[in-house]
């Protein structure tokens, strides 16, 4: 058997999609921290979801065993990803679907634009999907004269507000109802000018607008939460039913899916359908779990296309430690428990993937140098690891990625000097004496001098002990 060597896997290309911010995390986070309304909204929302989730997780006696099973299934999937993807392709094709392979965001966008153009439609309805935001599909469609309409209520609020999502599950978590009313009045076609900010009134306005759009649009675009290789079945889970309208009403359905979303069998899917709702929305099961296999004559979309997207995932897979980030099922539990996310919100991360998982996934998809501040957007408290339903060790990943961040020359030189001193006992003893001297000369409490001052800008400089270990040891 001959093998084709494809070289080092590519990271997600720059200039397309939403994986890179325009400013570093500390700069963006500082601005977010000054927004009292944002912090109130975030604090309220994350506290509510956390409590709800903890309650329903406590009901499951074998929750830890389920987590272990989810983790083991994902490890198995990544170990034989090519085989499972080929099986998925064969099953989807046999069921009447068409499978497309996209190496990156540019290829995926071009495939979807061509497919929509071929239908003659100038509008698509969209199911809430992280991956289409990752690749900037809406911008690509608009550039081609095709109008994308988000149908998830929160995504619709974000789209009409010309805003960016700030949470994986609750994209408009940073908006309160007065702001939503103002957005609807400004941007929703045909909205009642007497609209109030009552949640039920806002939901009814969105429903009227969306029903009209569902009934007059022939193409839908979705992501996928899971794909079962065994039968070629795709699955989307959601809470509103708007996703199901998109998946069943149009003539053509185009699904864009990250390659890591495949699971081997229905037995495996069963594990994730138990883990996901309890960890994400704090529900016992998803209100709407839609599944479809290819095309069924006379029922639902009569053309189905599946776009399998890499966009840096092969590069993540190539890293033995980093690859566990591909286990993520996008439940957002790690966001809801993260003390950093709770205070800064999602926009500060600059990527469509915010919070702890964003801090480890985005830099890996783009290459660490392009998102160098994100691995530091954490206190390493470990709450994300405890909350993750598939046991991704996010703190371990953060430390792993910090090691790959290009460090300033001064810091690298200081570390090299420290390593040299530790390798030479006499020099090390002299350095310890110098440290004690700094204690006597009053450096204490003032931080280190440049170029090391960055390190002590947010940390206390530990006081050098009056006696070193070596001196203590020598006395005995
Ligand atoms: S890393 Fe874990 S907790 Fe965070 S979104 Fe992914 S699956 Fe959920």
Task: Supply the DSSP string of 103-166, one letter for each residue.
Answer: SSHHHHHHHHHHHHHHHT-SEEEE---HHHHHTTHHHHHHHTT-EEEE-SHHHHHHHHTT----
Q: For residue 416, what pLDDT band results from cuts at 50, 70 and 90?
A: confident
pLDDT value at 355 more than 70: yes
pLDDT confidence of residue 6 = 59
Task: Give residue 389 CA to ligand 1 midpoint distance, Å.
Answer: 7
Write down the pLDDT at residue 394: 98
* Interstrand relation of 98-102 and 262-263 (parallel, antiparallel or unpaired): unpaired
**C-alpha 333 – ligand 1 centre gap (Å):** 6
- Read off the pLDDT of residues 377-404 as tens digits, 9 standing for 90 and up: 999 999 999 999 999 999 999 999 999 9
**What's residue 447's pLDDT?**
72
Ligand 1 pocket, 276 CB below 6 A? Answer: no
Ligand 1, atom 7: closest residue by C-alpha: 328
pLDDT of residue 180: 94
Cα of 471 from ligand 1 centre, angstroms = 49
Q: How far is CA 223 from the centre of its chain?
A: 14
Alpha-helical (H) ranges within 144-265 are 153-160, 177-187, 199-215, 242-248
pLDDT in tens, 115-127: 999 999 999 999 9
C-alpha distances out from residue 264 to 4, 426, 450, Å: 25, 59, 55
Percent of the chain surpassing pLDDT 70: 96
d(CA 272, CA 390): 9
For residue 160 and ligand 1, the question of a CB distance below 6 A is answered with no
The band of 135, judged by pLDDT with boundaries at 50, 70 and 90, is very high
Distance CA 418, CA 415 (A): 5
With a 6 A CB cut-off, is 130 part of the ligand 1 pocket? Answer: no
Residue 445 has pLDDT above 70, yes or no: no
What confidence score (pLDDT) does residue 1 get? 44
Atom of ligand 1 nearest to the CA of 333: 3
């Amino acid at each position: 058997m001959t093998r084709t060597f494809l070289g080092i896997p590519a990271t997600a290309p720059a200039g397309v999609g939403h994986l890179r911010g325009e400013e570093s995390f500390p700069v963006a986070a500082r601005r977010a921290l000054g927004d009292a309304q944002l912090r109130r909204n975030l604090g309220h929302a994350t506290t509510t979801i956390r409590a709800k989730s903890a309650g329903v997780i406590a009901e499951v006696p074998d929750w830890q065993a389920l987590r272990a099973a989810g983790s083991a299934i994902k490890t198995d999937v990544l170990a034989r990803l090519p085989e499972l993807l080929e099986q998925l392709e064969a099953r989807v094709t046999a069921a009447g679907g068409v499978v497309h392979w996209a190496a990156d965001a540019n290829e995926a966008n071009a495939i979807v634009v061509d497919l929509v153009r071929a239908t003659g439609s100038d509008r698509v309805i969209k199911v809430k999907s992280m991956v289409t935001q990752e690749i900037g599909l809406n911008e690509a469609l608009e550039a081609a004269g095709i109008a994308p309409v988000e149908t998830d209520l929160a995504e619709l609020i974000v789209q009409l507000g010309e805003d960016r999502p700030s949470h994986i599950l609750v994209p408009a978590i940073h908006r309160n109802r007065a702001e939503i009313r103002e957005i609807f009045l400004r941007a929703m076609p045909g909205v009642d000018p007497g609209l109030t900010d009552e949640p039920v009134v806002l939901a009814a306005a969105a429903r009227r607008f969306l029903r009209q759009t569902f009934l007059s649009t022939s193409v839908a675009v979705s992501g996928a939460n899971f794909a079962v290789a065994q039968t070629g079945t795709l699955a989307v889970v959601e809470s509103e039913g708007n996703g199901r309208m998109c998946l069943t009403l149009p003539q053509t359905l185009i699904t864009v899916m990250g390659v890591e979303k495949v699971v081997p069998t229905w037995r495996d899917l069963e594990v994730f359908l138990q883990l996901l709702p309890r960890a994400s929305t704090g529900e016992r099961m998803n209100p709407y779990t839609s599944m479809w296999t290819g095309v069924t004559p006379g029922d639902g979309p009569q053309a189905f296309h599946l776009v399998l997207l890499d966009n840096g995932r092969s590069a993540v897979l190539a890293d033995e430690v980093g690859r566990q980030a591909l286990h993520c099922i996008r439940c957002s539990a790690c966001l809801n428990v993260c003390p950093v996310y709770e205070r800064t919100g999602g926009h500060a991360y600059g990527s469509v993937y915010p919070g702890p998982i964003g801090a480890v996934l985005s830099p890996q998809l783009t290459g660490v140098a392009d998102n160098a501040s994100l691995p530091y957007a954490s206190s390493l408290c470990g709450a994300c690891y405890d909350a993750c339903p598939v046991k991704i060790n996010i703190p371990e990943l953060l430390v792993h990625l910090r090691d790959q961040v290009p460090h300033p020359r001064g810091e690298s030189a200081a570390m090299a000097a420290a390593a040299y001193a530790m390798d030479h006992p006499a020099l090390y003893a002299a350095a310890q004496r110098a440290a004690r001297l700094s204690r006597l000369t009053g450096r204490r409490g003032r931080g280190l001098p440049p170029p090391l001052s960055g390190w002590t800008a947010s940390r206390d400089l530990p006081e050098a002990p009056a006696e070193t270990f070596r001196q203590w040891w020598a006395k005995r």
